[in-house]
Structure 1
Amino acid sequence: MTAVQRSYLVAYDVNDDVRRAHIARILQGHGERLQYSVFLLRIRPSKMLEVQASIEEELDSATDSILICDFGLSEQAEQSMLFLGKRGYRDTVIPTII
């Protein structure tokens, strides 16, 4: 197993709120949210296989769509991306009233 990290861009279009939240939670645990449905993961290929398997468990392949782009070695990934405007995305925390 290699310890070299690669960068993956993951974008999703998921119709169901519950499935979408589960997939977002999986990706948040392994990467940086760039936009609402776009994440950048810098992880080992073996870990990416685990993430992919977790996503596939949540996915409804008849209605949902996931795009995974391999940008190669993490050191090279920054050169492959061009950000215009604000970089990054902060999840909105909605207070819960009990």
Structure 2
Amino acid sequence: MCRLALPGFIDKVYPLTVGDKVQKGTPLLDLTIPDWVEAQSEYLLLRETGGTATQTEGILERLRLAGMPEADIRRLIATQKIQTRFTLKAPNWMA
């Protein structure tokens, strides 16, 4: 069972059936989480308009606290592009 702390939309459910062996990292769902998209937009706006390091770090921390995976946060910083779809993958305990 999975519970998201933020409202979002399921864009895709990967095909699995009862009894399938699921490995760590197996894609389960593709999601759109509007709060994450909005916060990424705020981060990029601050970067473009000369926001302070404290402001940009605050946005990144908000994303972390909202549950955005660290790999996706690193991708945002590296690419400076908003990601609108996120793939929920099987955690360690499912393997």
Band of TM-score, shorter chain: 0.3 to 0.5
Higher strand share: 1
Higher helix share: 2
- Please tell me whether Structure 1 or Structure 2 has the larger radius of gyration of its CA atoms: 2
